Amino acid sequence: MTTDRTEFRLVAGMLAAPQHLEKLQKLGMSPALFEDSDLRSVLDAFQWYCSNHKAEGGKVDLPLFTAYLTEERHVTPAISSLVTKLTDAGGEDMTTLIELLDRLKTRAARRKLRAIADNITTFTDSEKQARRVEDFAADISEQLRQVARLSAQSREEPIRDELLRYVEEVRTRDVSHPHIMGLSIAPYDNLNAALSGLRPGFYYALGGAPRRGKTNLMIRLASLVARNEKIPVLYYSYEQTRRVLLTRVLSQESLINPLILQTGDIRTKADLVARFNRGIRETSAYMDNFYLFEGDRQDTVEHIRSVAYSIMDAHHAEHCAIFLDYLQKVPTVNPYTSLQKQVDEVSGLIAQLSTELQSPIVAVSSFDKDGCRMDTEASKERPTMFNCTGGGDIEYDADAALIIVKDYHDTTQLDEKIANAVREGAVNPHHIPHFDILNLYIDKNRDAPEGGNIIVQFLFLIEDNQMVELGYKDVEERYSYAKAGKIFEWLLSRGYLEAVGPGEH
């Protein structure tokens, strides 16, 4: 029998990348889908092998697998030759494997439908019925339901296996230190605790007005995940070039203004040389995991899905993290005349993709005019996710909704503290950074950790693209002079403010 190419490619792809087997099984992959009996035997043996042996480095121990086939399954020489051809064929990316699986499921469903049609024809053409019509119809109905289940995207299973894994995880859990459920974004320790990290399968929506540091916060979160977790991180910007994005990453690590990085004389200034070298060293720690993309009309959520699977394949990774800057500019396959409808579709697709990939996705969302108006000193109310374009659906779809706004009161307190120091001659008036104090409101947090606050404060140092976590905001706090004093001392110690000695002013 001629080997079916679809079946052959699917088995070869799994042999080349065993880490995909569990995902494909959840999507309904089964030896029963295969018409080729030899491929069916190989796949059946491969499933047993993977359930009993861990694939080191994402590779199958071919001698061990072949020995199992020979000794336990008593395979024919033809199957042994087939295994060699399969392993020589190489692999496919996950997107292709899913497409091949869908093709097999469709073919298997059609085979069953043809068999059902033949049964109906035989029954209706027979002059003498051995069965009652209602019994036959009930049997056919059950067979049709089986076809429907076969064509479903995922394999339906009771909770037994998942429950056993849960029990084992609890039994072996390390409780010697505080634990988060997601990917670490330390040293943002307060935000890390409040969100329990960026969790696999979660969709995070971040809303804010222009110039509120949304992109800076996104880039910092992305670089922290790449550094801490050593998994692939995909950052899509639909506004900026890769060069600009990389400059901002390097600016955060080197504490050098992006304009100086791009045009300044760095080589002849010792301080800048030291900071530049430090920035290169810090960025190098995660440069192989961090991917920057200039989003264009082709970069739909469907295309991002394919790219994510491809990069995860290359890293032999079970998870990745995706950052989208920003949601309102993500294109759709079918263009909409209404931005509201486009945002609704994109937001829903992001939620589905985060679940499918079992990876966190963080998407920035822009405020509408009302949202921007609310983020002003004169406003008596603050914006929420409903003040984003398509905001209602975004908050509905997202697992966590984050809103970043300026804290005008605390920013003014720090301004006054610095101004007083200038009047007293304590700091150099020509060496004062531009800054804002920002509040990050966690308005929605599915399965939130117990306790904690819902507002995390940041000091945004605008020239250096720095987002420094200050801690939780006390909503009952009326006076913040002490807080301003602590930030003032921190700015002095880090060189953002320059102290002036006696006789220098």
Q: Which residue has the tokens 């992959």?
A: 29
Cα 11 to chain centroid, rounded? 28
3-state class of 233 per DSSP? strand
Residues written for the chain = 505
Could you give the CA distance from residue 15 to residue 5 in angstroms, rounded to a whole number? 15
- Range list of β-strands (E), 93-209: 203-208
- Of 143, 119, 141, nearest to 129 by C-alpha is 119
Q: Is 167 exposed, middle or buried (0-12, 13-18, 19+ CB in 10 A)?
A: exposed
- Of 291, 316, 304, nearest to 223 by C-alpha is 291
pTM of the model: 0.76
Residue 82: which residues within 8 A CB-CB, separation 6 or more?
3, 38, 39, 42
| 184-206 average pLDDT score | 93
Q: What is the H or E stretch that residue 27 is in? A: none
Measured CA to CA in angstroms, residue 323 lies from 104, 218, 247, 320 at distances of 33, 7, 17, 10
Measured CA to CA in angstroms, residue 246 lies from 240, 258, 327, 412 at distances of 10, 10, 20, 32
Cα 168 to chain centroid, rounded? 26
How confident is the model at residue 122, as a pLDDT? 86
pLDDT band at 306 (very low <50, low <70, confident <90, very high): confident
Of 84-98, 160-174, 305-319, give the lowest mean pLDDT range: 160-174
Could you give the CA distance from residue 404 to residue 398 in angstroms, rounded to a whole number? 16
Percent pLDDT > 70 in the chain is: 89
| 123-142 average pLDDT score | 77
For the cut 80, the answer to whether the pLDDT of residue 13 exceeds it is yes
- Of 15, 105, 107, 8, nearest to 60 by C-alpha is 15
DSSP3 helix / strand / coil % (the chain, rounded to 5): 55, 15, 35
pLDDT band at 176 (very low <50, low <70, confident <90, very high): low
For the cut 60, the answer to whether the pLDDT of residue 155 exceeds it is no
For the cut 80, the answer to whether the pLDDT of residue 488 exceeds it is yes
Could you give the CA distance from residue 263 to residue 295 in angstroms, rounded to a whole number? 25
For the cut 60, the answer to whether the pLDDT of residue 452 exceeds it is no
pLDDT band at 336 (very low <50, low <70, confident <90, very high): confident
Could you give the CA distance from residue 169 to residue 502 in angstroms, rounded to a whole number? 63
Higher pLDDT, 154 or 18: 18
For the cut 60, the answer to whether the pLDDT of residue 216 exceeds it is yes
Q: What is the H or E stretch that residue 170 is in? A: helix 160-171
Could you give the CA distance from residue 267 to residue 437 in angstroms, rounded to a whole number? 33
Which structure tokens are listed for 477?
């706090």
pLDDT band at 458 (very low <50, low <70, confident <90, very high): very high
How confident is the model at residue 453, as a pLDDT? 58
